[in-house]
């Protein structure tokens, strides 16, 4: 449904995208995962015909993003990262406006937005600027859906939204996917990655890996341990200088320690830490998460 | 067509909801029209004159008293010497100094001629010119008086050309009559140019532009959708300004009111087009504001609103061919005061039409949906 072939884009001072290629299948919920400044928004803007790529080629639903932009604008829905509806128009007016701009009406495609719009209905006459963050996102999603697009582009839809609204939002995406929509979504949150069918990890304008959320962790090859101690700060410092350590990152209350090789024994690590006078040491092997994978791939780069 | 209507409707909703802006758009132009018409006045009044009378004779006192009886002059001080008088000029407390030398009366009797000196503070050139003109005419008057006194049957009466002035189209030489038609159109430039130029940039800054750009809206639909509301608001303002001009200031409206509206419409299209062009090339409101101000000030100063364009240097007159305000002010004054018909202002019509087409094409061309 979306095919991206060696797309590059350079801004005056920075290379935003370097030879990015991947494909998204019809009906797929595809996640683009990466930190701020990785190039996610640039890629989105190219795909929704707001930006021209320097090199490479991309098609959405078979239409070229440069040549067939007119056609594309009628079949794609785009929700930018920043809330960009009219703050001084009400919820209803915004929806009405975007429907009419696309040459359709709210009634014609109501079925598609029904379960989202019912939550907004009580605020129908409120100005969009006075909505809460979660409600704004829902309205923006409604406006992006009102012309019944085939492909939906959501650029960091959950950034700055509370945990409950985030969960609800992903449930909505799941339902939209079940209706056959192809969805490309970007997020800086690794925990949202597992909710996608497939994900691409992106960093500094290059794709690090593309796989299913489960499959992507197989890119992580080294042994991984979770370690906790009384003095976390000293622990991370000592571990980072230890001879057996490949990397060591803090993940909440645990430290994730990657070892240089399989052969390092746990008793050896315990002895090393005891010698450094660490107390209340707790240690167990874990299987890597998407974030671990991302960190290690980033490191390799 | 339906899309354009929705765009216009949306624009009106937004404008009407922005109460502060709405009030500013409707009240400030009227206020400006009233204030400017009263204040922007080039009549020279209350000239401060310093007298240095070194003669203290009957004639010298008569000359001085002539000045004190003229409304435009106000005798600020009498100084004993030339030096102290020039100090008054330096302090800016005097606009003009009249120096009557010693033996003024005696010279006049004996030699039939005497001299006085006028020193004029010429920092403000036009004011200085007018002031010295006034003073010179008073002295000439005085001259004529003593001439008739000394030669009861004046020998030089025949062979003189008498001038009888008659001021057409503005018989009282009212400054307001001259200003109001000009300011009326200057205000349209303000609304059209400034407010419209901020409009699209605002959409860019808020991010709604991006959202609009991914929709299938066509260029011309977007431009027309943006143009229409401001043109309508401008026409409302024009009407209000015209009412104030005619009823408050009593400015005559000799020509066709329809012709005035036709030109107002054309001019507004041009102004809003300029505003849209500026906002298309600007990324932020500050940039747009600056660009709009640059154009406005240049247009206004060169337009002939305050100073006659014929006296400007040649290059400025050439530059003025591109100045829409120059044409429209000519139209306004001619149609309102002279009652010119379309035939007399057709060259202005064609110039304005050409500029309008030009600026609208530029705006259309610069409006890009992709970055």
**Can you tell me the ipTM of this complex?**
0.79
Closest alpha carbon within chain B to A94: B10
Give me B239's structure tokens.
């009407």
The bridge status of strand A206-211 relative to strand A198-203 is antiparallel
User: What is the model's pLDDT at position B260?
Assistant: 93
Is B207 in contact with A70 (Cβ distance < 8 A)?
Answer: no
Residue ranges of chain B whose CB lies within 8 Å of a chain A CB: 2-3, 6-7, 10, 13-14, 17-18, 206-208, 210-217, 369-371
Q: Could you give the CA distance from residue B279 to residue B292 in angstroms, rounded to a whole number?
A: 9
User: What is the model's pLDDT at position B219?
Assistant: 84
Q: Is the pTM of this model over 0.80?
A: no
Burial class of residue B217 in the structure, from the number of CB atoms within 10 Å of its CB (0-12 exposed, 13-18 middle, 19+ buried): buried
Q: Does domain B47-150 have CATH number 3.40.50.620?
A: no
In Å, how far is A28's CA from the nearest CA of chain B? 22
Q: Could you give the CA distance from residue B253 to residue B204 in angstroms, rounded to a whole number?
A: 43
Q: Could you give the CA distance from residue A60 to residue A47 in angstroms, rounded to a whole number?
A: 7
In Å, what is the CA distance from B330 to each residue of A134, B252, B309?
A: 57, 15, 11
DSSP for A9-38, please give it. EE-SS-EEEEEEEEEE-TT-EEEEE--TTS
Is B212 in contact with A70 (Cβ distance < 8 A)?
Answer: no
Neighbours of B54 (CB within 10 A): 15
Look at the block and give the residue holding tokens 């008073």. Answer: B138
Chain B partners of A85 at a C-beta cutoff of 8 Å? 208, 211
In Å, how far is A13's CA from the nearest CA of chain B? 17
Q: Could you give the CA distance from residue A156 to residue A193 in angstroms, rounded to a whole number?
A: 12
Of B251, B234, B198, which Cα lies nearest the Cα of B34? B251
The pLDDT tens digits along chain B (371 residues) read: 788 998 999 999 998 888 888 888 888 888 888 887 777 666 677 888 999 998 888 888 888 888 888 877 888 888 888 888 888 888 888 889 999 999 888 888 888 788 889 888 888 877 888 888 888 888 888 888 887 777 666 555 556 677 777 778 777 667 778 888 888 888 888 878 888 888 889 888 888 988 888 888 888 888 899 889 999 999 998 999 999 888 988 888 888 999 999 999 999 999 999 998 998 888 888 999 999 999 999 998 888 887 777 888 888 888 889 999 999 999 999 998 888 899 999 999 999 999 999 999 998 888 776 54
Chain B partners of A74 at a C-beta cutoff of 8 Å? 216
Burial class of residue A194 in the structure, from the number of CB atoms within 10 Å of its CB (0-12 exposed, 13-18 middle, 19+ buried): middle
In Å, what is the CA distance from B309 to each residue of A256, B195, B222, B355?
A: 79, 27, 37, 19
Is B213 in contact with A70 (Cβ distance < 8 A)?
Answer: no
Is A101 in contact with B207 (Cβ distance < 8 A)?
Answer: no
Residue ranges of domains in chain B: 2-40+171-366, 47-150
User: What is the model's pLDDT at position B143?
Assistant: 84
B210: nearest CB among A80, A100, A103 = A80
- Whether A290 contacts A211, CB under 8 Å: no
The CATH classification number of A2-216 equals 3.40.50.300
Q: Could you give the CA distance from residue A48 to residue A52 in angstroms, rounded to a whole number?
A: 10
In Å, what is the CA distance from A165 to each residue of A159, A184, B175?
A: 11, 19, 67
- Whether B89 contacts B119, CB under 8 Å: yes
Q: Could you give the CA distance from residue A280 to residue A259 in angstroms, rounded to a whole number?
A: 21
Is B206 in contact with A76 (Cβ distance < 8 A)?
Answer: no
Closest alpha carbon within chain A to B208: A84
Is B207 in contact with A80 (Cβ distance < 8 A)?
Answer: yes
Residues carrying CATH 3.30.70.2070, chain A: 220-300
Residues carrying CATH 3.40.50.300, chain A: 2-216
User: What is the model's pLDDT at position B274?
Assistant: 92
- Whether A220 contacts A293, CB under 8 Å: yes
In Å, how far is B347's CA from the nearest CA of chain A? 41
Is A82 in contact with B207 (Cβ distance < 8 A)?
Answer: yes
Burial class of residue B81 in the structure, from the number of CB atoms within 10 Å of its CB (0-12 exposed, 13-18 middle, 19+ buried): exposed
Q: How far is CA B152 from the centre of its chain?
A: 48
Burial class of residue A190 in the structure, from the number of CB atoms within 10 Å of its CB (0-12 exposed, 13-18 middle, 19+ buried): buried
Is B217 in contact with A74 (Cβ distance < 8 A)?
Answer: no
Give me B293's structure tokens.
């101000």
Q: What is the pLDDT of residues A221-255, one digit of tens each?
A: 888 889 988 888 888 888 888 888 888 888 888 88
Chain B partners of A80 at a C-beta cutoff of 8 Å? 207, 210-211
Is B206 in contact with A84 (Cβ distance < 8 A)?
Answer: yes
The CATH classification number of A220-300 equals 3.30.70.2070
| Total CB pairs under 8 A between chain A and B | 69
Chain B partners of A76 at a C-beta cutoff of 8 Å? 214
Closest alpha carbon within chain A to B205: A84
A89: nearest CB among B10, B217, B370 = B10
Pick out chain A residues at pLDDT < 70. Answer: 301
Give me B297's structure tokens.
């000030």
B371: nearest CB among A50, A73, A76 = A50
Closest alpha carbon within chain A to B17: A88
């Amino acid at each position: 449904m979306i095919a991206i072939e060696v797309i590059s884009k350079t801004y005056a001072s920075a290379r935003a995208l370097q030879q990015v290629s991947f494909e998204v299948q019809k009906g797929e919920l595809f996640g683009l995962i990466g930190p701020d400044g990785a190039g996610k928004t640039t890629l989105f803007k190219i795909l929704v015909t707001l930006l021209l790529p320097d090199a490479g080629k991309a098609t959405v639903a078979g239409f070229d993003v440069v040549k067939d932009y007119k056609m594309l604008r009628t079949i794609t829905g785009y929700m930018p990262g920043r809330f960009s509806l009219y703050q001084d128009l009400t919820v209803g007016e915004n929806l009405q406006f975007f429907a009419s701009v696309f040459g359709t009406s709210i009634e014609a495609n109501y079925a598609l937005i029904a379960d989202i719009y019912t939550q907004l209905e009580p605020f129908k006459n409120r100005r969009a600027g006075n909505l809460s963050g979660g409600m704004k996102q829902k309205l923006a999603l409604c406006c992006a859906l009102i012309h019944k697009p085939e492909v939906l582009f959501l650029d960091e839809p959950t950034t700055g939204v509370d945990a409950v609204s985030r969960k609800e939002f992903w449930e909505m995406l799941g339902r939209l996917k079940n209706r056959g929509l192809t969805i490309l979504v970007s997020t800086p949150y690794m925990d949202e990655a597992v909710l996608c069918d497939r994900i691409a990890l992106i960093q500094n304008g290059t794709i690090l890996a593309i796989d299913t959320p489960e499959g992507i962790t197989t890119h992580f090859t080294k042994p991984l341990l979770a370690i906790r101690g009384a003095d976390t700060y000293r622990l991370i410092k000592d571990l980072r200088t230890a001879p057996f350590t490949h990397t060591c990152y803090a993940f909440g209350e645990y430290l994730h320690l990657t070892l240089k090789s399989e052969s390092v024994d746990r008793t050896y690590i315990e002895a090393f830490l005891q010698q450094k006078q660490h107390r209340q040491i707790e240690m167990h092997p874990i299987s890597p998460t998407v974030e671990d994978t991302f960190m290690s791939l980033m490191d390799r780069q | 067509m339906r899309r354009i209507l929705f765009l216009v409707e949306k624009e009106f909703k937004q404008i009407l909801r922005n109460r502060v802006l709405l009030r500013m758009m409707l009240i400030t132009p009227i206020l400006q029209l009233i204030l400017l018409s009263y204040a922007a006045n080039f009549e020279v009044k209350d000239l401060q004159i310093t007298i240095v009378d070194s003669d203290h004779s009957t004639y010298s006192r008569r000359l001085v008293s002539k000045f004190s009886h003229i409304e435009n002059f106000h005798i600020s001080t009498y100084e004993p010497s030339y030096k102290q008088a020039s100090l008054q000029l330096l302090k800016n407390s005097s606009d003009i100094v009249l120096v009557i030398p010693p033996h003024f009366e005696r010279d006049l009797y004996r030699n039939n001629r005497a001299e006085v000196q006028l020193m004029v503070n010429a920092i403000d050139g036009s004011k200085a010119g007018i002031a010295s003109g006034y003073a010179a005419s008073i002295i000439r008057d005085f001259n004529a008086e003593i001439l008739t006194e000394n030669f009861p049957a004046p020998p030089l009466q025949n062979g003189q050309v008498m001038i009888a002035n008659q001021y057409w189209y503005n018989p009282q030489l009212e400054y307001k009559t001259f200003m109001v038609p000009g300011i009326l159109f200057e205000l349209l430039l303000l609304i059209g140019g400034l407010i419209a130029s901020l409009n699209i940039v605002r959409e860019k800054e808020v991010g709604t532009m991006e959202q609009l750009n991914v929709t299938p809206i066509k260029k011309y639909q977007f431009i027309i959708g943006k143009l229409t509301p401001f043109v309508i608001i401008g026409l409302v303002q024009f009407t209000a300004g015209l009412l104030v001009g005619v009823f408050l200031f009593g400015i005559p409206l000799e020509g066709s009111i329809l012709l005035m509206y036709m030109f107002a419409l054309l001019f507004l299209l041009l102004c809003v087009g300029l505003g849209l062009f500026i906002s298309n090339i600007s990324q932020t409101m500050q940039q747009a504001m600056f660009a709009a101000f640059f154009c406005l000030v240049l247009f206004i100063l060169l337009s002939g609103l305050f100073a006659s364009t014929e006296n400007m240097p040649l290059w400025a007159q050439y530059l003025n061919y591109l100045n829409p305000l120059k044409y429209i002010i000519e139209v306004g004054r001619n149609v309102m005061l002279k009652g010119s018909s379309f035939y007399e202002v057709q060259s202005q019509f064609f110039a304005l039409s050409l500029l309008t087409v030009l600026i609208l094409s530029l705006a259309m061309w610069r409006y890009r949906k992709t970055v």
